[in-house]
Amino acid sequence: MTTTDTTKNAPAARRRAASTDSRAGSRDAGRKPTTTIIVTALLAIIALYFLVPVYWVVINATKSTEDLFGTSGFWFGESFQLFENLGAVLSANGGIFPRWGVNSLLYAGVGSVVATYFATAAGYALAKYRFPGRRFVYVLVLGGVLVPGTAVALPLFFLFSSIGITNTYWSVLIPSLVSPFGLFLASIYASAAVPDEMLEAGRIDGVGELGLFHRLALPQLVPALVTILLFQFVAIWNNYMLPLVMLADERLYPITLGLDNWRAQTDRLPEFYQLTTGGALLSVIPLAILILVLQRFWRGGLTEGSVKG
C-alpha cells in the first residue's frame, strides 16, 4: 500500500523537488542544469523511437493509395482524405470492421471482468483460509503460470473440437476466463490488505463466509482488482494464436485477426493497404487512450506483485 501512495504522490514530489523534498529532492539538489538538458534530450530522442509507428499510421491514414506510395511517409500527401478512408474502413465488406471491434470488446470485456472475479475469489480463499490441499492448489496454478499460453492453444483446440465448440464465441471466451497470474496477485494482495481480525469481527456479527468475501474483503482488494482487470483485458485484446486456431468464420474474428486478414490481401489488392492503415489507426486510438489514462492504477498494482515476488 505504501508504494501505491508514493506512486500517486510522485508528480507532486517532483514539482517540489527543487526545494526540500524527500529523496527525489535530496538527490536533485546540486545537479547541474547541463545534466538536465542532456538527459532530457536523450529521453526525447528515445521517445521518438517509440512514437514513430504511431506517427506513421496517423499521417498515412489521411492519404490516398497513390500518395501512400508516392509521397514521403513522414509527412502528409497531396490529398487529405482521412474521413473517406475511415468511412471505407467502417463500411467495407458490409461493415465487418465494426463487428470485429464489437467482438474484441466482447471477448476482452466479458472475459476480463469474469476472470478477475474468479481469480480474486480463488486468490482470497488461498490467502485467508488454512485447509488441506492448499499448497497443492498453489503449486498446480504456479505450474499453469509457467506453461506458455500458446503451447496450450493447440491442445485446447483438440479438446474443443472433440466437444464441438470450435468456431463459436465460446471457444475464445472460455479460455479467457482464467487468469492464474491474477490469482497470485490477488492472494499476495489479500494476505496483506485483508486483516484476519476484520474477518473474525464479521463472523461474530453473523456474516456468512461468502458475505465476508463480497462485503468485507472485496472493497479492500480494489487496487488489485483494477490491475488484474487491466492485465487480462490487454492480454485478451492482444491475443492472436487462440482466435487464429479456434475461429474459421470471419464474423467471429476479433480486430487483430481481422486486420491480419486484410493485410494479407495487400499483395494482390493495393487498396487493402489503405483499409489496413485506417483500421490500425482506429484500433490503436482507444487502447492508447486507455493505457495513458489508467497508467497510474497499473503501476500501483504492479508494485504489490513485484516487490514481494
Partner 1 sequence: MRSKTAPWVLLAPFLVLFIGTMIIPIIMAIGYSFTRVERSGLLGEAGTESTFAGLSNYIAALTNVNFIESIGRMILFGVVQVTVMIVAATVLALLLESAAAKWPGFFRATYFLPYGIPGVIATILWSFLYVPGLSPIVDVLQVVGINIDFLGPNMVLWSIANIVTWTYTGYNMLIIIAQLKSIPGELYEAAKIDGASSFRVAMAIQLPLIRPALMLTIIFSIIGTLQLFAEPRLLQTMSAGITSEYTPNMSAYAFAFQYNDVGMAAAQAVIIAVAAFTLSAIALGISSWTEKRR
- Under rule CB under 8 A, which residues in 143-202 are in contact with partner 1? 143-144, 146-152, 154-159, 174-175, 177-178, 180, 183
**Rounded Cα gap, residues 285 and 34, in angstroms:** 36
How is residue 251 annotated by DSSP? G
Q: For residues 89 and 280, is the Cβ–Cβ distance under 8 A?
A: no
N residues, the chain = 309
Handedness of CA 146, 150, 151, 156 (dihedral sign): positive
**Any contact of residue 259 with partner 1 (CB under 8 A)?**
yes
**Rounded Cα gap, residues 124 and 219, in angstroms:** 12
Residue in 1, 69, 201, 271 binding partner 1, rule: CB under 8 A: 69
Which lies closer to partner 1 via its Cβ, residue 102 or residue 154? Answer: 154
Interface residues for partner 1 in 214-243 (CB under 8 A)?
234, 237-238, 240-241
**Any contact of residue 42 with partner 1 (CB under 8 A)?**
yes
Looking from the CA of 38 toward its CB, the CA atoms found within 13 Å total 5
Residue in 68, 92, 110, 113 binding partner 1, rule: CB under 8 A: 68
Q: For residues 241 and 155, is the Cβ–Cβ distance under 8 A?
A: no
How is residue 241 annotated by DSSP? H
Mapping DSSP to helix (H, G, I), strand (E, B) and coil, where does residue 89 land?
helix
Backbone φ, ψ for residue 77 (5° rounding): -90, -170
Which lies closer to partner 1 via its Cβ, residue 54 or residue 192? Answer: 54
Which lies closer to partner 1 via its Cβ, residue 142 or residue 222? Answer: 142
Mapping DSSP to helix (H, G, I), strand (E, B) and coil, where does residue 221 land?
coil
Which lies closer to partner 1 via its Cβ, residue 75 or residue 83? Answer: 75
Copy the grid coordinates of residue 110: 466479458
Q: Could you tell me the smallest distance in angstroms from the CB atom of residue 141 to partner 1? A: 7
**Any contact of residue 137 with partner 1 (CB under 8 A)?**
yes
**Any contact of residue 207 with partner 1 (CB under 8 A)?**
no
**Any contact of residue 110 with partner 1 (CB under 8 A)?**
no
Q: How far is CA 61 from CA 73, 229, 274, in A?
A: 11, 31, 7
Which lies closer to partner 1 via its Cβ, residue 83 or residue 306? Answer: 306
Residue in 12, 53, 87, 269 binding partner 1, rule: CB under 8 A: 53
Which lies closer to partner 1 via its Cβ, residue 156 or residue 229? Answer: 156
Q: Could you tell me the smallest distance in angstroms from the CB atom of residue 111 to partner 1? A: 11
Q: Could you tell me the smallest distance in angstroms from the CB atom of residue 295 to partner 1? A: 6
CB atoms within 10 A of CB 291: 12
**Any contact of residue 126 with partner 1 (CB under 8 A)?**
yes
Q: Binders of partner 1: how many residues, by CB under 8 A?
A: 110
**Any contact of residue 79 with partner 1 (CB under 8 A)?**
no
